[in-house]
Amino acid sequence: MHLLERQTQLDELARCFQEARKGCGKLLLISAEAGLGKSSLVERFVSEHRRDARTFWGACDGLSTPRALAPVHEIAAQIAQLGSPLTRDGEFGDHLFRILLEELARPERVSLVVLEDLHWADAATLDFVRFIGRRIQRTSALFIATYREDELSPSHPLRLALGELTGHHVVRMRLVPLSPAAVELLSRDSGRNASLLYRITGGNPFFVREVLASPGELVPQSVRDAVVSRLLRCSPETRELAELVAISPGRTEGWLIESVLGARQPAVDEAGARGLLEVQTDSIGFRHELARRAVLEAIQPERARALHAQVLPILAQHGTDPARLTHHASLARLGDAVLEYAPLAAKEAARLGAHREAAAHLGRALQYASSVTPQLRADLLERHAVESSLANQTREAIASASAALALRRQAADLEAEARVLSLLSQEYRSIGEKANADECVSGAIRILENLPHGSALAMAYSWRSLLAVNRGWDREALEFGQRALALAREIGDRAAEAHALCNIGGALLGTDDRAGYEPLERSLALALEERLEDHAARAYRTLLFYAALTHDFARARQAFQEGVEYCEERGIFSHSAYIRAYYTPCELDRGEWARAARMASELLRGSEATGVQQRITLLASLATVRLRRGDPGADELLAEALELAVPTCELNRIGRVAAARAEQAWYAGRHAEVARETELGLRHVRGHTAPWIHGELLFWHSCVQPVGPIAERIAEPYRLMLSGEWRSAAGAWERLGMPYERALALAEGPEDALLEALAILDGLEAGPLASIVRQRLRKLGVRGVPRGPRAATRGNPAGLTAREVEVLRLLVSGHTNSELAKRMHVSSKTVEHHVSAILDKLDVHTRTEAVAAAFGLGIVKPDSSTSPAVSQEPR
């Protein structure tokens, strides 16, 4: 079959190849729904460059739980076969990634790397793509990754990874179905009704090919019928071969086929000749995954289970990896085999940083755990809780840890009981259930203090310190932190030492004592030195939190960049989600409001931000952008944030939300509400040293009521504002790099200061405060007060014109440039200008990011009937 209507894509591939040849490597992401010809396109392109490039292939398999780094190891094995000194055994994670990057950077020939079916990738493989995507521009490599866009749910891990891959070296290509003219051309000699064929297939090349491969029939009702009818015309031996191949995602080895079915060369020949299967020297596979699924669905359930059971022992004898064995054991419903292989698969996945997959494997084992001893069941539950925690699956972690706790208590295993209580304390804290968190860690300490003192007690003390840090109980935080540190050093427990140092640093920084950075940085250095991944991730997260709290943006940026890269290369999503959430207020404070709203919206709509602390931070940040711009949608965000914050009793969470609610009420002239909201926050702050949040709450309170003498310590910029020293306060905010707060201070000054404030606020498009400043200027009799943005633009978020908002709404609906041009009765060039302006104003790089910003800024509501199926054509 001819490769029709793909010349534009082949030209773009060729352009990227030439760029790579010049040493400007590219990552090219090809997306399409199933059957649109991603593989055919790539195969055609690669075939044209076999002589002038080193070509490496890897593919992700649709196993029930993916094999960690399987396609990366495929690529590594191919490189090793060329004589590279690459070590094929024992290399994993960051080390393997760096070795592969060095190989791809070799300048003598272009390296052409293809990674297919990224929608099935495990977490560790996605980390590899992120790693390569951030560095590919410094190589002579073209890295092509394909994925099915129709496989990506809103919370699919690949969505998050794609959103992080930005820059000129990342090119996105979206394939579309064939046109009616192309379908007519393909069907010209078949005698088929081309119009009906197009209507039935929707122009999907695979559907078209399968229908045309069914001679003598009417148009099939579905592609599944076409594939099955084609299969039924084969010999019984060929049908058996197809069924065997269908139960294994990817390709099936020749030796496995021969072991199950015996020599079947005629069947292999027939399947290849009919185009049903693709036959290679050592393996057989379906030409298209849709065909495999169609055959698989047609197999009777009992027959399918029998096939899975038949191949399992053969694969086990050949030393097949545990993930594949678990897949077949699970579908064969062989409980004993699942219990044997799933924990091994989980261990390997965890070793490679694929914690989601590790949790999934252990979850399968737990389905059959009723038959094992209570000890083994408790071990499985505890491991599942730990892996779920690392994968940011908090509710699952709590459920498994609670079940494990009951079994540990039945067995009177006190040390194990205390260990699980400490784990539960962490998870309860993550969802804001402070009473449960307190009860669990206190119970752990009571048990462990009556046992020989060791690592478990040191960690329990440290967890108690952390709970105190989060509530602003500085003395208790330092007391238990020092206890943990002393015991950790006494017994030589480096992990507990790193954990305790992190809490001590946090306790000091919570009082604005910058000496806290020293123990925090020691904690990070120690964790990195000892390869304590969870502790290193936590140190990055804590560094960022306090750098953001104290408005140390340079330090925050460094912690954010290094922390996200560190965590996501290792699959530690529980911490990377926090790091992303905690950086959002930095963008808000720096005046990068569109970026802050986009980040917050993406995280809130994704699956990562499950922790209460994350969600409160994101809700408050997004609401603050909206209320400062006068955009709708802040009320519901702040209501949810307050509902989540109050049960935590954490002063920074409650104080931040109360301050935002007070600010919103002040803009609306609801003075009694301002006082009520600030008093709520101040009740939680009093008695604690929290200079920044205390100062913010006092400032908003002073806007409606006198605050009296400022006896307690507050941050210097707020002290200056409360003292009426607006010019000094404005200078302090300027040095910190916080334009909105600077304008807030200038707004208390005379005419020249008010005009300066107005210029800042118009630049930020901070409508409510700008309106107040204009009123003050008019009261002073100032003539010619700047009008600010045009009314149409002012009414739209991010300064978009009405026409740009219209274009953005259509982008959310998934329209391409050509479709937009027809719909809006303008040229494609005009549409390109509109799209470019939208991306610039929203401070984003891709249409996907623009859609996220549209939701974040309230341009499109999350429950809108508009579907966010975004086109990802190259710009």
User: pLDDT, tens digit, for every residue of 237-271?
Assistant: 999 999 999 998 888 999 999 999 998 889 988 88
Looking at domain 7-176, does it have CATH number 3.40.50.300?
yes
Q: Under DSSP, is residue 614 helix (H, G, I), strand (E, B) or coil? A: helix
pLDDT greater than 70 at residue 873: no
User: Which CATH number is 374-389+412-622 given?
Assistant: 1.25.40.10
Q: Is the dihedral of CA 851, 855, 858, 863 positive or negative?
A: positive
Burial class, 545, CB count within 10 angstroms (exposed 0-12 / middle 13-18 / buried 19+): buried
Burial class, 819, CB count within 10 angstroms (exposed 0-12 / middle 13-18 / buried 19+): middle
**84-121 pLDDT tens trace:** 555 444 455 677 888 888 888 877 789 999 999 999 99
CA gap 129, 115 in Å, rounded:
9
Domain made up of 796-856: CATH architecture: Orthogonal Bundle (1.10)
Question: Which segment, 165-169, 511-515, 589-593, is predicted with the most confidence on average?
Answer: 589-593
Name the band, by pLDDT with cuts 50, 70 and 90, for residue 218: very low
**414-445 pLDDT tens trace:** 999 999 999 999 888 877 788 899 899 999 99
User: 588: closest CA among 598, 579, 578, 573?
Assistant: 598
pLDDT greater than 60 at residue 875: no
pLDDT (0 to 100) of residue 850: 74
Mean of pLDDT values over 517-540: 94
Question: Which segment, 284-298, 710-724, 851-865, is predicted with the most confidence on average?
Answer: 710-724
> Residue 48 — left, alpha, or beta (φ > 0 → left; ψ -120 to 50 → alpha)?
alpha
CA gap 183, 167 in Å, rounded:
36
**Is the Cβ–Cβ distance between 497 and 532 less than 8 Å?**
no
Average model confidence (pLDDT) for the chain?
A: 86
pLDDT greater than 50 at residue 617: yes
Name the band, by pLDDT with cuts 50, 70 and 90, for residue 868: very low
Helix (H) or strand (E) holding 173, with range, is strand 170-174
Amino acid at 430: S
**175-189 pLDDT tens trace:** 998 888 888 888 876
> Residue 472 — left, alpha, or beta (φ > 0 → left; ψ -120 to 50 → alpha)?
left
Measured CA to CA in angstroms, residue 453 lies from 378, 403, 458, 764 at distances of 24, 26, 8, 57
From the centroid of its chain, how far is CA 23? 30
Mean of pLDDT values over 125-152: 90
Enter the tokens of residue 359. Answer: 């949790």
Higher pLDDT: 180 or 739? It is: 739
CA gap 414, 445 in Å, rounded:
11
Amino acid at 692: W
Rg (CA), the chain: 30
User: 561: closest CA among 534, 589, 580, 588?
Assistant: 580
> What is the signed CA dihedral for 118, 123, 129, 132, rounded to 10 degrees?
-160
Distance from first CA to last CA of the chain, Å, rounded? 29
Higher pLDDT: 738 or 816? It is: 738
User: 661: closest CA among 714, 699, 623?
Assistant: 623
**Is the Cβ–Cβ distance between 854 and 597 less than 8 Å?**
no
Mean of pLDDT values over 57-74: 87
Enter the tokens of residue 476. Answer: 């208790």
Enter the tokens of residue 794. Answer: 């002012």
Amino acid at 746: L
Cross-strand partners of 284: 252, 279
pLDDT greater than 90 at residue 502: yes
pLDDT greater than 80 at residue 811: no
CA gap 702, 137 in Å, rounded:
53
Higher pLDDT: 288 or 147? It is: 147
CA gap 60, 114 in Å, rounded:
11
From the centroid of its chain, how far is CA 283? 35
- Mark out the alpha helices in 492-611 (DSSP H runs): 494-509, 517-530, 533-549, 553-569, 573-589, 593-605
Mean of pLDDT values over 702-719: 84
467 HSE (CA, 13 A, CB side): 28
pLDDT greater than 60 at residue 792: no
pLDDT greater than 70 at residue 198: yes
Lowest-confidence segment of 17-31, 486-500, 636-650 by average pLDDT: 636-650
**Is the Cβ–Cβ distance between 550 and 558 less than 8 Å?**
no
> What is the signed CA dihedral for 210, 213, 214, 220, rounded to 10 degrees?
20
**Is the Cβ–Cβ distance between 767 and 795 less than 8 Å?**
no
Q: Under DSSP, is residue 850 helix (H, G, I), strand (E, B) or coil? A: helix
Cross-strand partners of 199: none
Name the band, by pLDDT with cuts 50, 70 and 90, for residue 213: confident
Q: Is the dihedral of CA 711, 713, 716, 717 positive or negative?
A: negative
CA gap 49, 27 in Å, rounded:
17
Indicate the DSSP class of residue 1: -
CA gap 688, 406 in Å, rounded:
38
Enter the tokens of residue 714. Answer: 């507050």
CA gap 854, 598 in Å, rounded:
8
